Structure 1
Amino acid sequence: MAWSRGLARFNKRVTNRVQGVWAPWLPPWAMIVHKGRKSGRVYRTPVVAARSGDRLSVVLWYGERADWVRNVLAADGAEVVRAGRTMTLHGPRVVDASDPAVGAVVRRVALRNRVLVGELGE
């Protein structure tokens, strides 16, 4: 059950800028650093994410058609800044919250939303 596109546009212009101040430093927040598919421009998107071993699970509140998700999937990865550390996200894929690859914390908060899962590396 993805949130509305109107809310997504508001958050992209207003809320994300505020969350960007603490997202790279304060788990469960993280900052996804990705390149635009067409523009090649670098974007920084704050997300709610949980780490389970070498795997990162990110709740897709706005669904898998969100620009940042499409950018990460097209590039087959992105950089993730979490708890002040920069890591690389490899092999991202979109799965249901019930998938065994999804961490327990994200499974509880994701509700009926899909989840982006990928492997972390340095």
Structure 2
Amino acid sequence: MDEKLAKLMEYLQMETEIPFEEFKSYYSGVIELLNKEYNEMDQSTLLKAKYICSIVQANAESRSHRSKINGKHFKKMASKCGFWSDAIDFRLKKEGLSQDEIDAAMSQFNKQSEE
């Protein structure tokens, strides 16, 4: 997940949007990683995954409204990222983290992305 987070931070620094195929490839890699390794992820990795899913979800939702050609694809991506974000939230809370702690971690990632 570290590699995916590093790539996301790189994307967030860009002035232009990445092309659909690159977005789709990144999204697919994240989902594949979650499908394979979710059960073995520790809290730190889960927090990274939640941040990635929330950013990809927001971007996919935004793009779904602007893209006539790929709108349905973006909506599907946003939905799946929302599912994973909720699942990660549920698990983190089950493991003892409060919503405030989760939110604080997300804020920290946002600060890192702005640097």
Confirm or deny a common fold (TM above 0.5). Answer: no
Structure richer in strand, relative to its length: 1
Q: Which TM-score tier does this pair reach, normalised by the shorter chain?
A: 0.3 to 0.5
Q: TM-score, normalised by structure 1?
A: 0.35
Structure of larger gyration radius: 2
Q: TM-score, normalised by structure 2?
A: 0.37
Structure richer in helix, relative to its length: 2
